[in-house]
Amino acid sequence: MDFRSDIIVEYFPFFMEGMGLTILMSVVGVLMGCILGFFIALGKMSPILIVRLPFIWYINFLRGTPLLVQLFLFHYAALPAILGSTTPVISVMVTLSLNSSAYVAEIFRAGLQSIDKGQAEAAHSLGMNKFQVMRHVLLPQAFKRSIPPLGNEFIVLLKDSSLGAMIAAQDILYWGRAASGQYLRVWEPYLMVALIYLVLTLSLTYLLNYLERRLDVK
Amino acid sequence: MISVRHLKKSFGDLEVLKDINVDIKQKEVVVVIGPSGSGKSTFLRCLNLIESVTDGTVTIDGEELTDKKVDINKLRAEVGMVFQQFNLFPHKTVLENITLPIVTVKKWSKQDAEKKAKDLLQKVGLLDKAKVYPESLSGGQKQRVAIARALGMEPKVMLFDEPTSALDPEMVGEVLGVMKQLAEEGMTMVVVTHEMGFAKEVGDRVIFMDEGYVVEENEPKQLFDNPQHDRTKAFLSKVL
């Protein structure tokens, strides 16, 4: 079997462009996911069932349905209905943000609930109010414990962003499919696509390991 | 100073405190003893409302803690508490553990808070540990930092919940030493402990609790040498 490296060479600039978009969509997804996830975690920990219920079902829906189905739902139905129109990139970013917020919320909740209750008791006994206890005592410790699972979530998100190719967001996989379609070859483009994702996830893994060591996560 | 009236506390169907009436005077050191499950820790935790009260009132220095309208955070700041498990903040240095509540609750400047914290560390003999994190301290050192942290709020009363029970035996003395010094300086203290030696030496009064009631209270010498109730006698015969 001959290996046509010229296809990879020709498409290389497009793969790099696709990589940029993949990184952008993943970073936006994980950042928005963290911000939203934090508030959803707080909502889900409310002692009042009526307040808790919408957050429980938000998480149930986003974790319990396939990401591709969510992507189609947002791209073809929800976002056009709300915004009037949408682009593939916006749809992917919105879907990834909401989807990851559900997972991140559970990560934060687990982190907060893993902190010994003596910590909050001690802080309250010193006269700190609920907000101060959360801000100065519980959150810093919970966040530190959340870093390893957050890193995993980021890696999963980066790979899942490839679903964007299904609605023609011009990410790495999109260009692989384009190359495959043009030359009617399957090995070269898809191996190249797999390789780029692997480089990205491995880089991220090393970066996260380094961060964990720096922050002395246990 | 502290007045407890008809205090009751239940956890679900389990009634832990049945009808507690206790008065504690200023500068008094009251030691609470009793078998495990007698409610003595719960009683102590009700004195700053870390544990919510089912019924009855707790009044400290004229202010009723159990009144729904009071600012409970403000009152708690005036009641220091030291826990069996220390509960230092592991992500803060020793110095920051002490300054955090002074800055956030008392709204002091960072400089003033640090000066205060260093004075307190000096007092408990740990000034050289100011910059380290709690994990590198021994149990006895952790508990002394916890005492310094509580003192940073300049409380009117200090509550001690079995402060030496989680310590290795050779570290009990250093913590009791700090507590004794506090008592000599005139701090009002309520101490739940199994250290009968401390109760005898430092306590002005000993309260014996069992099954959610105050069974007997008296001066240490009287209570230890001449207990009036059978339950007190039975308990003391086991621990002394």
User: Using one digit for the tens of pLDDT, what is the confidence trace for B97-120?
Assistant: 999 999 999 999 999 999 999 999
Identify from B76, B110, B161 which residue to disrupt to test chain A contact, counting A C-beta atoms within 10 A and taking the largest count.
Answer: B76
Tokens of B50: 């870390």
CB–CB contact A127 B150 (8 Å): no
Helices (H), chain A: 5-44, 49-64, 67-72, 79-83, 88-113, 117-125, 130-132, 139-160, 172-183, 187-214
Angle among Cα B81, B84, B88 to the nearest 5 degrees reads 70
- Nearest CA to B191 out of B212, B171, B165, B168 is that of B165
Best residue in B52, B65, B91 to probe A by mutation, most A CBs within 10 Å? Answer: B91
Q: Which of A116, A123, A125 sits opposite B48 (nearest CB)?
A: A125
Q: Is B101 exposed, middle or buried (0-12, 13-18, 19+ CB in 10 A)?
A: buried
Smallest Cβ–Cβ distance between A119 and the set B80, B89, B100 belongs to B89
- Indicate the DSSP class of residue B85: T
Any B CB within 8 A of A114 CB: no
Cβ(B101)–Cβ(B128) below 8 Å: no
- The rounded Cα B8 to chain-centroid distance in angstroms is 19
The number of C-beta contacts closer than 8 angstroms across A and B is 60
- Closest-approach residue (CA) in chain B for A122: B87
Task: State the Cα–Cα distance between residues B119 and B112, nearest whole angstrom.
Answer: 11
Residue A137 with chain B: CB contacts under 8 Å:
89
Phi, then psi, of B33 in degrees rounded to 5:
-120, 165
What mean pLDDT comes out for the span B132-157?
Answer: 97
User: Is residue A215 within 8 angstroms of chain B, CB to CB?
Assistant: no
Residues of B in contact with A118 (CB under 8 A): 83, 85, 87
User: What are the tokens at B17?
Assistant: 């405190």
Q: Tell me the CB-side half-sphere exposure of residue B40, using CA atoms within 13 A.
A: 25
Distance from CA of A97 to the nearest CA of B (A): 30
pLDDT at B34 over 80: yes
In angstroms, how far is CA B51 from the centroid of its own chain? 14
Q: Give the DSSP letter string of B31-81.
A: EEE--TTSSHHHHHHHTTTSS--SEEEEEETTEETT-TTS-HHHHHTTEEE
pLDDT score for B239: 86
Q: How many CB atoms lie within 10 A of CB B118?
A: 16
* Tokens matching residue A28: 């936006």
In a 3-state reduction of DSSP, which class is residue B203?
coil
The answer to whether A126 contacts B150, with C-beta atoms less than 8 Å apart, is yes
Residue whose C-alpha is closest to residue A45's, from A137, A181, A138, A182: A138
Do A126 and B91 lie within an 8 Å CB cutoff?
A: no
Closest chain B residue to the Cα of A217, Cα to Cα: B91
Of A116, A125, A132, the CB nearest to B104: A132
Look at A126 and B149 and tell me if their CB atoms are within 8 Å. Answer: yes
Q: Choose from B71, B76, B93, B104 for mutation: most chain A CBs within 10 A.
A: B104
A125 in contact with B, Cβ within 8 Å: yes
Q: Are A205 and A155 in contact (CB under 8 A)?
A: yes
Rounded CA-CA distance A18/A176 in Å is 9
Instruction: Report CB contact under 8 Å: B101, A121.
Output: no
C-alpha distances out from residue B29 to A92, B2, B7, B9, B172, Å: 66, 12, 20, 24, 19
Contacting residues of A for B101, CB less than 8 Å apart? 123, 126-128
Chain A: nearest CA to B79, how far in angstroms? 7
Q: Which residues of chain A are modeled with pLDDT < 50?
A: none
Helix (H, G, I), strand (E, B) or coil at A149: helix
Check residue A1 and give its pLDDT. Answer: 67
**Of B33, B63, B37, B59, which is closest to residue B46 (Cα–Cα)?**
B59
pLDDT at A217: 57
Q: How far apart are CA B119 and CA B94, in angstroms?
A: 13
Query: Up-side HSE of residue A120: CA atoms within 13 Å toward CB?
Result: 16
User: According to DSSP H, which parts of A65-87 are helical?
Assistant: 67-72, 79-83
Interface of B with A (CB under 8 A): 48, 50, 73-74, 76-81, 83, 85, 87-91, 100-101, 104-105, 146, 149-150, 153
Contacts 24+ apart (CB under 8 A), B38-43: B38/B209, B38/B210, B38/B211, B38/B212, B39/B9, B39/B209, B39/B211, B39/B212, B40/B192, B40/B209, B41/B161, B41/B162, B41/B192, B42/B9, B42/B16, B42/B17, B43/B7, B43/B9, B43/B17, B43/B192, B43/B209
CB atoms within 10 A of CB B42: 21
The reply to whether residue B101 touches residue A137, judged by beta carbons under 8 angstroms, is: no
Cα separations in angstroms, B114 against B99, B100, B172: 6, 10, 28
Q: What is the pLDDT of residue B177?
A: 96
Chain B contact for A60 (CB, 8 A cutoff):
no
Q: Identify the H or E element spanning B22.
A: strand B14-24
Closest CA to B57 of B4, B19, B97: B4
Q: Which of B35, B82, B58 is nearest to B208 (CA)?
A: B35
The predicted-structure confidence for A173-184, as pLDDT tens digits, reads as follows 999 999 999 999
Contacts of residue A144 in chain B, CB cutoff 8 Å? 91
For residues A99 and A59, the answer to whether their CB atoms sit within 8 Å is no
State the Cα–Cα distance between residues A117 and A166, nearest whole angstrom: 46
Cα–Cα distance for residue pair B9/B43, rounded to 1 Å: 8
Task: Assess A140–B contact: CB distance below 8 Å, yes or no.
Answer: yes
